[in-house]
A and B are shown apart, each in its own frame.
Chain A
């Protein structure tokens, strides 16, 4: 008994040792994928620490639920990796402070004037397919709806457990409005299955089990750059694609408000923005197109961007979910 208690203690000691230096610690809550070696976290940590004479500490997990649990006693100074689907809830808590950044010259297809939540990258939803296997990909959303039931099998993510899945609900709602439920009944037979999250869905796609997967227009860039495989492509629809930014915000309760503000400045700096494309496989929020890696510059992009603001998305979420559930229960 004694040995295992000691071991457990030693383990937690190792975990906390990193924070034992004297420099001020800036605590940033971030999603899991963000802080892994393969995400943008480590490079951001290194980049910021080089300028701030501080210790940046990521805490990974489900960002907003954790902050809501902790309330005004949260140890987070900054929260990164939030999505627009949660900002209404987050704003209502009054826990977040203005970002104080100039958002007039962001390089995004959507104008951004939120004073609290600052986008650091963005992409657009898209159905990704394998060119060598799927000869007749849908050429429009309507084409996808009207295709025969056995034309292709799509994997989508569940809107109740995944951000991508929820964004798809809003995408369909934005295009089809009152006819969204009808649209879903046409999509449903082509949906092979619904997964809890993006990883499961994308895994089924790369394993060849599904012909198409709900992902992002930037997904093919990963395969081209990291795997030298140009067989993956995003189907581009003239109806427009749904815009999905990732956001960062500082907390009112931060014990290091200057550091937190400094981090917000850093988010829009060329240094930070320059690492987003290949670390997070998405478009940086503020980087001229010609400074992107060549592959990103050449990615086929939709002509039209669709985006429901936070208020509208919050209003439509419940009814859209019910429509979706009804359509799939037939």
Chain B
């Protein structure tokens, strides 16, 4: 089981209550961004480019608690910026845990080991560590040599101290599916509870505008990665969302599924797109013209989006939308997705050559080839 039963039960009863109340639009996870400053400067990130006075600003614990009550979701993710740079993060997390919210504190884990003693293990708290692949891939993705080793030290310390630890991997064009699979193996050996994986979004403000995956390539890559699964892999994502990534299911975006609150207010419409801010959650829900968002809307800003913040809630809604959805999800939970075609894609995949970074592509491909054989023979 990728999440504790108590959490799965809380989420299931929350969703069913919304459905019984006849609500068409309800959120699943609050994305709480208490600050934008970060101790990394990743090329694919469009979240941290602000003037210094904005980067120094932060939400108070009271601001955070008010937002959580307003929105009412059973789960709260705390991205940023880097949350561990917020001096009151332990207080914020403790307050959310006291409110019985399932908290995913998203971190690059550079500071996790040294700040771990400020937090208490709880079934309500999980450190969601951002690791973008095997060592070289992660280090290049976060533009910091040695970043992977520090993050994995943080993971090891948190696992040893009895915390729930999950991971979050974002893939851009140039990702190597063989290496991603080997990365999953490494994370499971490191003792993480479960993993999340998602394609990167075309952030307008990301310094790098040349490595965004189109939907067709995303589906091909995720089919290669997520088919022929190892029994040991545990994922922290709706099975229907993962089928969507693999191209097995068509889902429409649920832009209100993971609303975002930051120092600017409630972000319209979603975690990824900025089209203004509302001062209350109610105002957000009532004033956004939701039909203008989602890939099917024709909005060019949504065109290639397959990101979990838009589609994870769609997967959950699909599950709880019909008996068929429930049955398909139950089946998906036990499926390894045997797929010879996917195996061929893996075998034939040519790792991208990053200009002078040939060494990285070659090394990863060589090691992954060896690991791949054990994957397929499992």
On whether the two chains bind one another, the answer is: no
Which residues of A are at the interface with B, using a C-beta cutoff of 8 A?
A: none
